[in-house]
Amino acid sequence: MKYFKNIIETIGNTPLVKLNNVVETDALVLAKVETFNPGHSIKDRMALKMIEDAEKDGLLKPGGTIIEGTSGNTGMGLALVAIQKGYKCIFVMPDKQSKEKMDVLKAVGAEVVICPTDVPPESKLSYYSVAKRLTKETPNAWYVNQYENPSNTVAHYESTGPEIWEQTEGKITHLVVGVGTGGTISGTAKYLKEQNPNIKVWGIDTYGSVFKKYHETGEFDENEIYSYITEGIGEDILPANVDFDIIDHFEKITDKDGAIMARRLSQEEGIMVGYSAGSAVAGINQLKDKLTKDDVVVVIFHDHGTRYVGKLFNDDWMKEMKFM
């Protein structure tokens, strides 16, 4: 009989799917559709790796509580692994996240704490600060800290990168990834560039985030930071997991362009994915002049569109945002 011993054994080995209708280039554009993971996002990969490494290092002990600041997807991955291993979860998330993401975390048994979005990272109310405080106050707790946790990057170096190399038979020329914590792009790119240093790595950023300017000038400019609607990419901090040296270019995408493309992917490709996937494909179209028909572009689709039904796929919300 062929079966998996538990749900976490199904993490990884996601398909590459050709995009036929939404890209404006003759290059072959292949989506790595991470929604096939059991938690419906790429974050399952690093959730498993971070927990296993914490167990090995003695940071996470039997019956412990996992605490993390998460926009939803990392929380889902952590919760699935925690269920199998007998841990409790407390997740802290900013209030701009979709209600679906909050409800999904509660559905897998996690406690969810909501914090304001419009506060600086060092504020006592920010979700980074609240997660750290809860870790101190909770007995036998472990703070995951995906932004600084090296296992985040290692997960993609060990799984996502090798899968893409094998699936493209080494023919990949460009990797396109939305950048948030930085683990996906840094780990995947490190592996791929070790196989072929000529592979171009493009990071997708959003307006209101610090990444692009910092990458181009080395300056952390607080004037670049303002509220944005896009979910899953961009930051107002510089996470340790973002390896700026391995990224060749950052492209900024507007909230509107990311949202419209996410809807187009659902309607024109039949692939229902989230905000960061829309932003990433919009980025490929903005950079189409840098591509030729011989190029093989792999774009990461991080998470499932069902997490955004109340926003991206809701006409009233789109009209309220003046996106349609």
CA 179 remoteness from chain centre:
7
Instruction: Please say whether the beta carbons of 27 and 296 come within 8 A.
Output: yes
Catalytic residue among 43, 101, 200, 252: 43
Residue type at position 150? P
Residue type at position 306? T
Q: Helix, strand, or coil here: 220?
A: coil
Instruction: Please say whether the beta carbons of 295 and 173 come within 8 A.
Output: yes
Instruction: Return the structure tokens found at 291.
Output: 């591509």
Q: Is position 136 annotated as part of the catalytic site?
A: no
* Spatial separation of the C-alpha atoms in residues 242 and 240, rounded to whole Å: 6
Instruction: Please say whether the beta carbons of 46 and 70 come within 8 A.
Output: no
Cα torsion through 261, 100, 34, 8, rounded to 10: 180
Number of C-alpha atoms within 13 angstroms, CB side, residue 249?
14
Q: Helix, strand, or coil here: 301?
A: strand
Query: What is the edge-to-edge ordering of all strands in the sheet holding 174-178?
Result: 16-18, 28-33, 296-301, 174-178, 200-206, 249-253
- The catalytic residue positions are 43
